[in-house]
Structure 1
Amino acid sequence: MISFQNVSKSYHIRKFRKDVLNGLNFDIPTGCSLGICGANGAGKSTLMRLISGVEAPSEGRITRTVSCSWPIGYSSCFQSTLTGADNARFIARIYGRDIGQLLDYVEDFAQLGAYFYQPIYSYSAGMMARLAFGISLAIDFDCYLVDEVTAAGDDRFRQRCEEALHHRREAGTLLMISHDPHTLRAYCERGAVLHDGQLVFYDTIDEAIAVHTYNQAN
């Protein structure tokens, strides 16, 4: 279970205050596959960072009874001057995983070749997504957070991502952000729409997509 209790998030830039999320109250049950829709700048990635614990709320409380991945595709979770392999070693130590096994899994899954042993500041966005995806899947989480990462890579890599995500969805909780309705329908049963700082839940992903499409048109 992931529970938000009166959660708000604001950013202060010089003398300007940006309110992104306002007084959110909701529970996400274990085993849910939820697709989150919203316009660019609505706060979807901010919401994901709050769920994962990468950022703290400005107000309110977030309770987790499950382990959550970092948002897959969120490059700021890595140290850019270290190699992909060194970042993987560091994360293996944090989570108490066997370093050799984790490195073997990530190297095979991400298929970065020699770049796996290069500093990640030299990576493209797609390569960063491959690394993040591979490391996330190398560690067993109860809840996986996915932010558009399935768009990265060639057809073969996307197929591997799809197979891995379907497996994780069957075994646990999956929360996904995507601008592609077909992707959301492929992975998610329920849906939610983030609009004007509020998150509204719907019984089906099709309902959420329809509301989001209407919001965009108006």
Structure 2
Amino acid sequence: MIIFNDVSKTYATRSGRHKVLDNVNFTIEKGQSVGICGHNGAGKSTLLRLMAGAEQPSSGAIRRSMSVSWPLGLASSFQSSLSGADNTRFIARVYGKAVDETLDFVEDFAELGEYLRMPLRTYSAGMAARLAFAVSLAVSFDCYLIDEITAVGDERFQDRCRAALQQRKEACSLIMVSHDPHTLRDYCDSGMAVQNGRVLRFDTIEEAIASHFVHA
């Protein structure tokens, strides 16, 4: 379960404090698949980072009673001077996973070839995203956070991503941000819409999509 209790998030800007989320309240139960709608800059990615614990709220409280992934595909926390393999080994040790088993999974899924043993600074953005997606799936979580990641790589890699996420959906929670209504319908049952700092919760993904496009 993830519980947001009167959560607000503000950032400092040149013109003063900008409030992205304003007294947000909701609960996500284990096993739910939730799609998040909203225009660019509405606060969708901020919401995911708060769920993951990558950022802390400016006020209010967030409680988690299930393990939550980092946003899938997030590569910014990797060490660029290390190879993809070394980054994978480090994350496996942090999460108590078998190192060789984790590396084998990432090598097979990311399909980076010799680049897996090369420094991350030599990767293209797409290669780094493929590595990050594979590492994310190699660690077991109760809840996976996905931020517009299903478009990474070529069509074959996207098909593998979709199959892997559908498999996770059978046993875990998925919380997905996407601008594509078809993608949200494929993975999500219920939904949220982020509008003017508020988060509206809907019982169905169709209601969330409709609310977003009415206010877009």
1:111 maps to which residue? 111
1:39 maps to which residue? 39
The structural deviation recorded for 1:160 is 0.7
Amino acid at match of 1:110: A
The structural deviation recorded for 1:12 is 1.2
- How far apart, in 2, do the equivalents of 1:68 and 1:189 lie? 19
Q: After the TM superposition, which residues 1-218 of structure 1 pair with which residues of structure 2 at under 5 Å, given as runs?
A: 1-14=1-14, 16-216=16-216
How large is the Cα RMSD of the aligned pairs? 1.1
User: Retained in 1: the 8 A contact 2:7–2:24?
Assistant: yes
Q: What CA deviation, in whole Å up to 9, does each residue of 1:68-120 have, x standing for no partner? A: 11001222221222211111111011011111110010010011112212222
For normalisation by structure 2, the TM-score amounts to: 0.97
Instruction: Choose 157-166 or 11-20, whichever is displaced more.
Output: 11-20
- How far apart, in 1, do the equivalents of 2:196 and 2:9 lie? 12
Amino acid at match of 2:41: G
Amino acid at match of 1:73: G
Amino acid at match of 2:78: F
- How far apart, in 2, do the equivalents of 1:87 and 1:166 lie? 26
Instruction: Choose 5-14 or 36-45, whichever is displaced more.
Output: 5-14
Instruction: Choose 9-18 or 139-148, whichever is displaced more.
Output: 9-18
Instruction: Choose 125-134 or 195-204, whichever is displaced more.
Output: 125-134
For normalisation by structure 1, the TM-score amounts to: 0.96
Question: Which 4+ stretches in 1 moved above 6 angstroms?
Answer: none
The structural deviation recorded for 1:15 is 5.6
The structural deviation recorded for 1:197 is 0.7
- How far apart, in 2, do the equivalents of 1:90 and 1:14 lie? 38
Tell me the SS of whatever aligns to 1:21: strand
The structural deviation recorded for 1:14 is 4.8
Amino acid at match of 1:49: R
Unmatched segments (≥5 aa) in structure 1? none
Instruction: Choose 61-70 or 11-20, whichever is displaced more.
Output: 11-20
Tell me the SS of whatever aligns to 2:175: strand
Q: Identity of paired residues, percent? A: 57
Unmatched segments (≥5 aa) in structure 2? none
